[in-house]
Amino acid sequence: MSGHIPIKTALTLLTFGSLLMLPQVVVPLKNYKSLEPKKVATVLEFPLRRSAEDAAAGPLASPANLSEMRAKRLVATAPRNLADPSHALDHFYEALLRGQGVHIVHYGDSPTTADLITADARSMFQREFGDGGVGFVLLARPWAWYGRRGVEMSASNWKIEVTGVSEFQDGRNGLGAVSFRGAAGASARWTLKDSAHRSVEIAYLKEPQGGEFTLEADGCLLGAAQAGGDVIAPGFTSFEIPPGTAAITLQVTRGSVRLYGADFRKGPGVVYSSLGINGANVTLLSAALNEDHWFDQLRHYKPDLVIINYGTNESGFPGFVNATWGREMRKAVARVRAALPETSILLMSPMDRGVKAASGEIDTIPSIPRLVEMESAIAADSGLAFFNTYEAMGGAGTMARWYMSEPRLVGADYIHPMPAGAKIIGELLFTALRQGFHQYKLQELKQKLAEVRQP
């Protein structure tokens, strides 16, 4: 048998390579670059397979089959464990393609509370698509382990309300579902590791008899904002940050104010806001947040992608999973869609969850596979994208393997990932979305070329 590549296969490879390289030399197509010449190895990110028609026709090596196949094609396989048959992510991919700024909002439970998973995904997105800044950070720490990578926080004299668990229960708790009530003397301070941030926007509630707060950059006054208003409504005030600023300090100077958080920006690039609530489940989005207030928040921040990532806490209550969870997830999806009809929505399944059996073995809790299957069906029925975290990380028994690994990738509860385990999940999510984006670019490039060919 000859070692040469069949001529038609060679032509196919040449055509595929030409499509990838054309944006390097045609200026109007520069945004459609899929790889850089210095990074040719990254083409391996596109796992290639034969088309279904070719595979049905028989082995490639058969001369008879080669003569019957008029056009051999190599097609990129769908990113593993990312399902998007309705192209729900196209809005997000188009925003990445434009390169003028992209905002990802990730709602989740305790791992995202500590910026686990999300910090690693954020870092990879920003390294590849540009760093737009830290994004939204709560005013203070509702829990000792709350944090954002690259930001140190301190605060004093605040009364904290967490949606669903606090006494006020009016649901007006901002984008991050937590609000902070403070009188004169209350303060918050954020120290940024990266001094390249150029603006900060403070989110608060306008209300009758609302007070006043000021903002300082490294001790220099940036300005003041009034939180008073004739009616209760969201308030947002932006301040420019002088170059080289390290610390931003907020002080309540008069009356009482209800604040939510700070949104730090550098400029065009990816902003990935991690909005985790400790112990949260999907009812946070389906019912607990005041609808009008939350819709105003979502529309103000204009995310290009909303990730809904719940299920771990619910999995401990199999009756809730079987009877209620699916209905609540559909309600949550409907609310996000009503607020942001053009925004991409991704349902992200929970990770594996381990439980120690009577034998001493660590097994997957039975409700996790059922919940993941249910969520996949909801995404398909609703025309949403779905990322199967459970399968991507290894499926049943993963937490047992992670607990026994060196270094250990999950804690002794077989639920919460250690930093190394969280990094794996963040990388899996980013890689799947990046592959989906590259496929989108190739399809768009083909469409542009087809338009150019038309007389």
**Mean pLDDT rounded to a whole number for the chain:** 87
Q: Give the lowest-confidence range in 133-137, 163-167, 276-280, 390-394.
A: 163-167
**Nearest Cα residue to 247 out of 267, 225, 219:** 219
Mean pLDDT of 306-331: 97
- Cβ atoms of 280 and 164 within 8 Å: the answer is yes
Joined together, the tokens standing for residue 277 give 């609530």
Rounded Cα–Cα distance for residues 138 and 45 (Å): 36
Joined together, the tokens standing for residue 181 give 């009530």
How much is the pLDDT for 452?
73
Mean pLDDT of 341-364: 96
DSSP-based three-state secondary structure for 233: strand
DSSP-based three-state secondary structure for 191: strand
- Cβ atoms of 197 and 244 within 8 Å: the answer is no
**Cα end-to-end span (Å), the chain:** 45
What superfamily would CATH give domain 81-132+269-455?
A: SGNH hydrolase (3.40.50.1110)
**Nearest Cα residue to 92 out of 429, 443, 342:** 342
How much is the pLDDT for 396?
96
- Residue 349: how many CB atoms within 10 A of its CB? 26
pLDDT at 331 over 70: yes
CATH number of 133-267: 2.60.120.1360
Mean pLDDT of 238-256: 96
Taking each helix axis from N to C end, the angle separating 7-25 and 419-453, rounded to the nearest 10 degrees, works out to 90
Rounded to 5 degrees, what are φ and ψ at 228? -85, 160
pLDDT in tens, 206-217: 999 999 999 999
pLDDT in tens, 8-29: 555 555 555 555 555 554 444 5
Mean pLDDT of 66-79: 38
Rounded Cα–Cα distance for residues 168 and 165 (Å): 9
Q: Which residue has the tokens 């097994």?
A: 363
Strands 178-183 and 256-265: antiparallel
How much is the pLDDT for 293?
97
- Report the length, in residues, of the chain: 455
Rounded to two decimals, the pTM is 0.84
- Residue 67: how many CB atoms within 10 A of its CB? 9
17's CB contacts (< 8 A; 6+ apart) are none
- What band does 30 get if pLDDT is binned at 50, 70 and 90? low
* Ranges of each domain in the chain: 7-77, 81-132+269-455, 133-267
